[in-house]
Structure 1
């Protein structure tokens, strides 16, 4: 900012007058744009007013197929520049602080992406924020491609060709974002070129918040209603911090400053479950005939991207921090999709039509394999429960586990070779027991084991039943 004022020839003592003049001209330009398009410009006295709802009501009364719908203005908190006097040094200081200023909201129907909004801060540094909806954009793409679909609110309840629709969605990841955003700047902030002329800079486009959702479509509402309570119960009772970390791409566990939370909440539209990893989240909820899982990224530094250094893109590549820049939006889509995919895979263990007793009876009684008898498993016994918890740990979900991995979870470390051999033999017998019951399978040409499909279902269900309190089970049954 200091460099800008020097290049613009503005003295610090004159900053406020200079900024007020620019702000007035921005407001006048917004009023002129609304008048040109014969659209309303409305001042909202409260920042808590739902601005999009106001704009949609205007659109309903005055339909618009393309172009500006309305301009709304409101005073809201923001980080902005002030010139303050320092009593100690008796000099002026330029500071970026929290304050309030007028913000302009432009609501438009864009020819390419459909319904969107632009938020313009009318005081330095004139932040320019664009909010668009990928499904709104997809509807336009499918209309252009002649692809039939049914839509309810922000959901597609039926699509004639889902593979083709997904391909259209994937095209959004390859968007030239500066090229898409520049016309919006020219329309909503015509003074931008004049304001930035002293330093010859343009906007640096970043993604403050992204939401990536995966939808599972059901043919009828009743089918989702039948299984949804079980999905919520399973997510609350079975997904601990280790599972949430794995869903969010952290199979090796948490870092020292990580904070993991799970929240279940009932709202006007039903129950939703939400898992937090710091400021990023993964949630699931139902929308009529659609079960939606959604990853929201507010803090991209928790994820990694394979790229070169910032100042040398073609240099040596390695895993580096995911940036806010739109240059990394394709990677955001990848990690978000992976998160929803892992979550849905974990929820697939929920078996709502088979009672737990019917599944458990297969492992709670002795079995014979190759003429040898193996005892029954008892998930409520401490030793068997510890074994089941060990093989169900999130860190083993991708690469499986070895004898030494389970041994380290069940026994204390020892340097006695004889004791180590006894522990290895004991773990080997217990793994053979699990294999005989069909809960684990051996990875070919390795010493690793993984949970079988049957193991995923039964182990998850048994551990959930073991950890559930009588009060919670009674409430759930009610």
Structure 2
């Protein structure tokens, strides 16, 4: 902000009057725009009023099909700047301060995104927020592609061609967002227009809170209602801190000093379970009776890494760096969120299996042959095999996989000379039964879908609380 004031030749003592003049120009621009287009400009006495409902009512009343619907003005808290006199130097200082100022809400009926709005702070630094709905965009894209669907509120309960709909949705990741957002900013903020005379750049666009949901559509509400209680119990009893960290791609080591929590909350629509790892979270809930939704929310992207250009020893190289809030990393944000949802659904895959438990375990209770070599039957409920399953399912190993050395450390085998060969034989045994597979050209192993089912079922039978067997 100081650099901007210097460029405009504004002294600190004149900051208040100068900022007031800029704010009045923004408010006058909003009133002129609504008057020119014949749309209402309305001041709201309370910021708690539902602006979306008011905008929808105006849209229906006036039959707005495209363009500006209305502009609402209300006073809300904001982060801005103020002057403070330093007691030692006796000089004025510009400090960041929380205050209240007038905010403008521009509501549009967009041809691509449907009902959307732009929120503009009328006091420096003129912070702007754009709120839009990706599912509204998808609905319009499916209409053009001839895909039939059933939409209830903000949820699709039926889509005739799910793979094609997913391909359409993926286009949002590739969209040139900066061009679209800059055009919106120039509509509402006259000071960033090239003809204003102010030497200012456009906004640095960032994602304040990113939510990515994966919906599982059931054929009927009864089918979801039958299995959903078991999914909730499994999520609360079986997903510990290590599993939750694995979902959100966090490593369980001594460097982690944050907080992990899980909780259940009853809503009007039903019950949702939410797992938090510091500022980020993943949750599960039911929508419209027949849709199971897994949703990852990223509030602090710096907890994750992105492969992007960086400086190393004075040279520009590609390296793994903390993910930014800017829209430049939105593709990576989607990739991480989608992977987190997939891991969560994979972990839930053992719930509600139609195969009886004894049949599932019988598959590994017989000896097998692989490449002419005979491997013994597994004893999934025995103490030795159960300890091995517990070590393999350890959340620390679930992201990258696990190695012989990782299992030795988890099982507490101190002497590598005697224990390495023993663990190698166990790994070969599990590979023969197709519970794990080896990652090509590495020393890492990962669990197969069959492995998740067998090992999770076996461990469940060894739980001390017999009541949990009912889940």
Whether 1:407 and 2:400 are equivalent positions in the alignment is: no
Structure 1 residue 82, shift from structure 2 partner: 0.6
Structure 1 residue 398, shift from structure 2 partner = 5.6
1:461 is aligned to 2:457 = yes
Distance 1:61 1:409, change over 3 A: same
CA spacing shift, 1:255–1:136, aligned 2, 3 Å = farther
Equivalence map 1:74-473=2 (5 Å): 74-193=74-193, 197-250=197-250, 253=253, 255-288=255-288, 289-309=290-310, 315-354=316-355, 356=357, 359=360, 367=366, 376-378=379-381, 381=383, 384-397=385-398, 400-414=401-415, 420-424=416-420, 427=423, 439=435, 450-464=446-460, 466-467=462-463, 469=465, 473=468
Give the structure-1-normalised TM-score: 0.85
2:106 and 2:312 mapped to 1: Cα distance? 35
Q: Name the CA distance, whole Å, in 2 between partners of 1:372 and 1:457.
A: 20
Instruction: Describe the shift of the 1:445–1:86 C-alpha distance in structure 2 as closer, same or farther (beyond 3 A).
Output: closer
State the Cα deviation string for residues 288-343 of structure 1 (Å, max 9, x = none): 2221111211111111121112899x932111221222121111111111111222
Q: CA deviation at 1:433?
A: 7.2
Distance 1:455 1:75 in 2: 57
Map 1:3-82 → 2, pairs under 5 A: 3-82=3-82
Partners of 1:6 and 1:449 in 2: CA distance = 59
- For the residue of structure 1 that corresponds to 2:390, the secondary structure is helix
1:405: how far off? 3.0
Deviation at 1:438, TM superposition (A): 6.7
Residues 404 and 39 (structure 1 numbering): CA distance in 2 closer, same or farther, change over 3 Å?
same
| 8 A Cα contact 1:391 1:401, kept in partner | yes
RMSD (Å), alpha carbons: 3.3
Q: In 2, distance between residues paired with 1:184 and 1:438? A: 54
Taking the aligned partners of 2:308 and 2:154, their CA distance within structure 1 comes to 34
Residue-pair matches, total: 465
- Alignment gaps of 5+ in structure 2: none
Aligned match of 1:417: none
For residues 29 and 254 of structure 1, the distance between their equivalents in structure 2, rounded to whole angstroms, comes to 55
How far, CA to CA, are the matches of 1:18 and 1:55 in structure 2?
33
Structure 1 stretch 301-310 or stretch 422-431: which is displaced more?
Answer: 422-431
The superposition leaves residues 377-402 of structure 1 with CA deviations (integer Å, 9 ceiling, x where unpaired) of 436x5x55433210212343366545
Deviates more, 1:157-166 or 1:325-334: 157-166
Over 3 Å counting, the alpha-carbon distance change for 1:401 and 1:23 in structure 2 is: closer
> Cα–Cα, structure 1 residues 233 and 357, in superposed 2: closer, same or farther, change >3 Å?
farther
Aligned equivalents of 2:12, 2:438: Cα separation in 1? 72
Whole-Å separation in 2 of the counterparts to 1:441 and 1:5: 62
Q: 1:107 to 1:178 in 2, by over 3 A?
A: same
Deviations 1:157-209 (A, max 9, x none): 22232222222212111211221112212222234337974433221222222
The CA deviation at 1:23 is 1.8
- Spell out, residue by residue over 1:323-366, the C-alpha distance to the aligned partner (whole angstroms, 9 max, x if none): 22212111111111111122212211223434556645777xx7
Distance 1:109 1:254 in 2: 51
TM-score by length of 2: 0.87
Q: SS of the residue aligned with 2:14?
A: helix
CA–CA distance in structure 1, aligned partners of residues 440 and 64 of structure 2: 62
Q: What SS does structure 2 have at the residue aligned with 1:317?
A: strand
Q: 1:133: how far off?
A: 1.2
1:335–1:468 CA distance, 2 compared to 1 (3 A): farther
SS in 1 for 2:38: coil
SS at 2:294 equivalent: strand
CA distance in 1, matches of 2:317, 2:35: 53
The alpha-carbon deviation at position 428 of structure 1 amounts to: 6.0
Contact 2:262 2:274 in 1 (8 A): yes
Q: Aligned partners of 1:452 and 1:329: how far apart in 2? A: 30
